[in-house]
């Protein structure tokens, strides 16, 4: 099973060969028996039919708010996925961190062309990695060539390994040191590959520039001004607030489900993927960002300057990567902005139109153990988003 943690392990593939899941659904958790379900509900139900244990979707547009859910909050209980649930948003955290960095750029506190060594002297050295040759922009856009630390903190990709290692904590410096055991993927600026190490370093840059942690700056600059009262950085506390659904990871094809609701702290605890939020808060953040509330026009334009992501990285066809913000084309023309996030047993997929007027967040509560099912479920998600955003026009 590949480890990815992009989102898409781009933390791991995960949960359930569920031929019988439909029979477990409680009344009202999927399509209503007495009324023809909406297309949004049908697409959510399709994900459950394709093996996801629980799904929630929230769509906000000038026409109002629509929310649907399907599947179970906890297998064996019959309880539906809660409304307004807390979810881990994983690598969607990166967009919050990138926004803080670009605010600092706009204030003249640093430059996108500053080297990593300018702010973290001597830290990035070894096996051909050199912070004197890597810029802040390259960290933000995954063009640094730095290796990803994530596989180093998953020494045993199994249910037993998850349980044994989930409480282990690492400092940002330790995560970077894991990555620097490996040679770079390419010379800085000559390629693109997703690496969580980039954003661990950006969290450290924020502290070097401001004297405060990335969590503090995200709260002060984004969470409080936007009144995101259900968005938090839990640090090393591994539990989700309530209400929440349970997350499930399948660690091998056809294998059993493992409840992974408790965070895997080796990679759920830093600037690359630590935040917990709700769909309402996530939508509010992306609508504010794309609507120009958080960044000056020059910095928002920099954020939306994209490079093509090469095939084989788990992105939808035609996807492009900006500075902590991804662009995905729509079948009806144009595209949407967002940044997915996942980990053991969960996937968050926010999608917002370019003007910030329409936002959608999809949350999945399981991940499959085989690549073919993972690819199919991601296609189900992108189809749901495509249908919803095209219809909202």
Over residues 124-171, the pLDDT tens digits come to 999 999 999 999 999 999 999 999 999 999 999 999 999 999 999 999
How wide is the angle at C-alpha 322 spanned by C-alphas 391 and 134, nearest 5°? 165
91 is catalytic: yes
Residue 8 in domain: no
How wide is the angle at C-alpha 362 spanned by C-alphas 154 and 91, nearest 5°? 35
Residues in CB range of 245: below 8 A, 6 or more apart: 53, 54, 56, 72, 73, 74, 81, 82, 85, 87, 365
Q: Got the DSSP string for 98-158?
A: HHHHHHHHHTTS--TT-BHHHHSTTTSEETTEETTS-BHHHHHHT-S-PPPSGGGG-SS-S
Domain that holds residue 57: 21-392
Phi-psi region at 345: left, alpha or beta (left = phi > 0; alpha = psi -120 to 50): left
Residue 393 is classified by DSSP as -
Residue 276 in domain: yes
pLDDT confidence bin for 311, thresholds 50/70/90: confident
pLDDT confidence bin for 32, thresholds 50/70/90: very low
Residue 210 in domain: yes
Average model confidence (pLDDT) across the chain: 91
Sign of the torsion formed by the C-alpha atoms of 88, 89, 94 and 100: negative
HEC string of 55-103 equals: EEEEEEECCEEEEEEEEECCCCCCCECCCCCCEECHHHHHHHHHHHHHH
CB atoms within 10 A of CB 225: 12
Q: According to the model, what pLDDT value does residue 35 have?
A: 65
Residue 329 in domain: yes
Q: If you count them, how many residues does the chain have? A: 393
8 A C-beta contact, residue 30 and residue 45: yes
| pLDDT one-digit tens code per residue, 168-209 | 999 999 999 999 999 999 999 999 999 999 999 999 999 999
Number of domains, the chain: 1
CATH code of the domain containing 103: 3.40.710.10
Residues in CB range of 306: below 8 A, 6 or more apart: 320, 321, 322, 327
CA distance 279 to 264: 21
8 A C-beta contact, residue 26 and residue 376: no
pLDDT of 308 higher than 80: yes
State the virtual CA torsion across 250, 50, 328, 389 in degrees, nearest 10. -140
Q: According to the model, what pLDDT value does residue 14 have?
A: 34
Catalytic residue among 61, 91, 277, 366: 91
CA distance 212 to 208: 8
pLDDT of 21 higher than 50: no
- Please give the model's pTM, rounded to 2 decimal places: 0.92
Residue 196 in domain: yes
8 A C-beta contact, residue 386 and residue 304: no
């Amino acid at each position: 099973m590949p480890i990815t943690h992009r989102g898409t392990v781009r933390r791991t593939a995960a949960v359930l060969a569920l031929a019988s899941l439909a029979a477990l659904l409680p009344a009202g958790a999927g399509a209503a028996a007495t009324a023809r379900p909406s297309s949004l509900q049908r697409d959510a139900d399709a994900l459950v039919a394709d093996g996801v244990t629980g799904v929630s979707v929230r769509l906000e547009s000038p026409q109002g708010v629509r929310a649907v859910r399907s599947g179970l909050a906890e297998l064996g209980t019959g309880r539906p996925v809660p409304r307004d649930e807390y979810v881990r948003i994983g690598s969607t955290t990166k967009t919050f961190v990138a926004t803080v960095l670009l605010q600092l750029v706009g204030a003249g506190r640093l430059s996108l062309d500053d080297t990593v060594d300018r702010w973290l002297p001597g830290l990035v050295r070894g096996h051909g990695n050199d912070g004197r040759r890597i810029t802040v922009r390259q960290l933000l856009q995954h063009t640094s060539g730095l290796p990803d630390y994530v596989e180093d903190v998953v020494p045993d990709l199994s249910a037993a390994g998850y349980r044994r290692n989930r409480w282990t904590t690492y400092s940002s410096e330790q995560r970077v040191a894991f990555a620097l055991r490996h040679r770079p993927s390419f010379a800085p600026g000559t390629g693109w590959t997703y690496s969580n190490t980039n954003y661990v370093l950006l969290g450290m840059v924020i502290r070097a520039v401001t004297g405060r942690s990335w969590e503090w700056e995200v709260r002060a600059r984004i969470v409080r001004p936007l009144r995101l009262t259900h968005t938090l950085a839990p640090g090393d506390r591994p539990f989700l607030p309530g209400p929440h659904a349970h997350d499930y990871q399948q660690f091998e094809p056809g294998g059993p489900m493992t409840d992974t609701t408790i965070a895997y702290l080796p990679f759920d605890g830093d600037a690359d993927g630590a935040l917990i939020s709700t769909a309402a808060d996530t939508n509010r953040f992306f609508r504010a960002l794309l609507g120009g509330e958080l960044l000056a026009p020059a910095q928002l334009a920099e954020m939306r300057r994209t490079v093509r992501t090469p095939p084989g990285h788990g992105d939808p066809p035609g996807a492009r990567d900006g500075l902590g913000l991804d662009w995905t084309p729509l079948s009806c023309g144009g595209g949407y902005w967002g940044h997915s996030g996942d980990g053991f047993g969960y996937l968050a997929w926010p999608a917002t139109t370019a003007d910030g007027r329409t936002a959608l967040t999809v949350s999945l509560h399981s991940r499959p153990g085989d690549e073919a099912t993972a690819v199919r479920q991601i296609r189900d998600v992108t189809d749901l988003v495509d249908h919803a955003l095209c219809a909202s026009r």
